[in-house]
Amino acid sequence: MVAFKYEVNRQQVNDAQVVNHKAFPFLAFDRFSQSQLNRLSTQLDREQWFDYTAQLATHQRQAEYSNLIVNRFDLATLDSCAEKLVTEAKRSNDVWTAITERPITIPDSYEPWLRIFGLYPISSQLAQSSINTEKKRILAGFNKPTTEAIQYQLTSGTVGERPSLTQPQIAKWFNEAIDASTVQWPQLNDDQISQLYHHFSPLIKVETISYDDKPGTVHYVDSQQKPAVNAAKPAIYLHYSYTQLYGKTYLQLNYSLWFANRTATSSLDPYAGKFDGVLLRLTLDHQGRPILLDSIHHCGCYHMVFNFSKEFAFANTNPDTESPLIFQRTAPKESVESIPAWSITLSHGEHMIKQVKWLKEGDLEADLSVLPLVGHSYNQLRQLPTERHHTVSLFDQAGMLPSSERLESTYLWPFGIPSAGAMRQVGHHAIAFIGTRHFDEPRLFEQILRPATQPQN
């Protein structure tokens, strides 16, 4: 295992989605895993944590193994070795003590030295009015009429047909998972999560006036030695995550769309460039019902939060940190047997969310055909096939997509975000220019929401 990691480092094919530590090459860490350490007191808690970090390491190891240019290792042997080490670690108080007494630090996505040289205290004050103007522009386009749109939906069979899950079935899964965890961490199995992806998949309407507005499959073009998006193969990329909100841990379903470009509106459009994309994240409560939707572009910009729950209300955010665009939406009126589908509309060119609504069962708009989106694991972006004997990651070792740089970075660098506007890998999304905030912060929503029974400060 150590030799494998050495070779990965030597060939510079490290996957940056999660963090490694040389003392624990069979584990990998993210912000959520590290946030849980002070909550875990029982042997069962620790085993769940080891299972989670071991799974992170398994996905990373698969990508790095596949991306090795010269490969003398056997993946099955590496996995078997890792499994044995995880089993031993679960039984070892010394390993747990080492992990908790010297927690692994997850690198920040901000560069302090950029803020120092950019005179951040002054720059942030000057930028506030521009940020507010941009928010007003986005809000003004919300719920405006949609024209020339194409509709898409994730499908595993007939287009528009959802899995035959019922709300009681979903609630049973969550109840069983929570009962198996002393900290109420709902760890569902892969098959259950796969069914949830399909059950909750949104009906996605995209205003379409060019090739740039068609979500596609990310692939590697060997003749050009760089990645691209094939819009002839509509696709959506899936992964799941967890968030912690006022003492409870919730499962999140993530849906990522990729577009070939963000269309230029002028010859010097600072936001235009190769690649664009939107990440939609649906948070489910302990009964498996949607309570929150939030979204970013793959560069980390335009964080939007939609609250579906009556249990939470928006709170006054820290004035020293840029607040997201927030929306209070009506909760779905679910029946006993099922939860209604939801739809989301994206604008053309800049792919901004301009509408979110709940649909009645089978309520597809009759005047629009529905194209199927092929569901891919987000992990595929970490190992794109090539014509050679190895794969390549879409992202570099800093978690960024090098060919997606934007002109806006030339004037946004004083806010501490390297190559602002460039597409980023999960785990590397800084989502505020003023202050610091990451999309994968485990307690992100506690900075934005408060219990509805708690008075506003």
Kindly tell me the sign of the dihedral angle through the C-alpha atoms of 435, 403, 255, 49: negative
The reported pLDDT for the residue numbered 443 is: 95
What would the pLDDT profile of 377-423 be if each residue is shown by its tens digit? 999 999 999 998 899 999 999 999 999 999 999 999 999 999 999 99
Q: How many CB atoms lie within 10 A of CB 246?
A: 13
Identify whether the C-beta of residue 282 lies closer than 8 Å to the C-beta of residue 242: no
The reported pLDDT for the residue numbered 103 is: 86
Identity of the amino acid at 262: R
154 is written with which tokens?
């994730």
Identify whether the C-beta of residue 171 lies closer than 8 Å to the C-beta of residue 191: no
pLDDT in tens, the chain (457 residues): 899 999 999 999 999 999 999 999 999 999 999 999 999 989 999 999 999 999 999 999 999 999 999 999 999 999 999 999 999 999 999 999 999 998 899 999 999 999 999 999 999 998 888 898 999 999 888 888 888 899 999 986 544 455 678 889 999 999 999 999 989 999 999 999 999 999 999 999 999 999 999 999 999 999 889 999 999 999 999 999 999 999 999 999 999 999 999 999 988 899 999 999 999 999 999 999 999 999 999 999 999 999 998 889 998 777 788 889 888 777 666 554 556 688 999 999 999 999 998 886 555 554 458 899 999 999 999 999 999 889 999 999 999 999 999 999 999 999 999 999 999 999 999 999 999 999 999 999 999 999 988 766 5
The reported pLDDT for the residue numbered 319 is: 77
Q: Is 312 helix (H, G, I), strand (E, B) or coil?
A: strand
Cα–Cα distance between 63 and 73 in angstroms, integer? Answer: 13
Q: Is 247 exposed, middle or buried (0-12, 13-18, 19+ CB in 10 A)?
A: exposed
Buried/exposed code over 116-132 (b: 16+ C-beta within 10 A; e: otherwise): eebebeebbeebeeeee
The reported pLDDT for the residue numbered 28 is: 97
The reported pLDDT for the residue numbered 156 is: 66
Token pair 């259950």 is found at 192
Q: Is 22 helix (H, G, I), strand (E, B) or coil?
A: coil
Identify whether the C-beta of residue 426 lies closer than 8 Å to the C-beta of residue 277: no
Going by C-alpha positions, the residue among 400, 322, 405 that lies closest to residue 120 is 322
Going by C-alpha positions, the residue among 326, 221, 322, 229 that lies closest to residue 275 is 229
Kind of pairing between the strands at 325-328 and 304-307 = parallel
pTM of the model: 0.94
Going by C-alpha positions, the residue among 141, 147, 423, 136 that lies closest to residue 259 is 423
Identify whether the C-beta of residue 368 lies closer than 8 Å to the C-beta of residue 151: yes
Residue 243 has φ and ψ, to the nearest 5°, of -135, 155
Domain boundaries, the chain: 2-101, 112-451
What would the pLDDT profile of 326-379 be if each residue is shown by its tens digit? 887 776 665 545 566 889 999 999 999 999 988 865 555 544 588 999 999 999
Kind of pairing between the strands at 203-207 and 149-154 = antiparallel
Strand partners, 346: 206, 353
The reported pLDDT for the residue numbered 165 is: 86
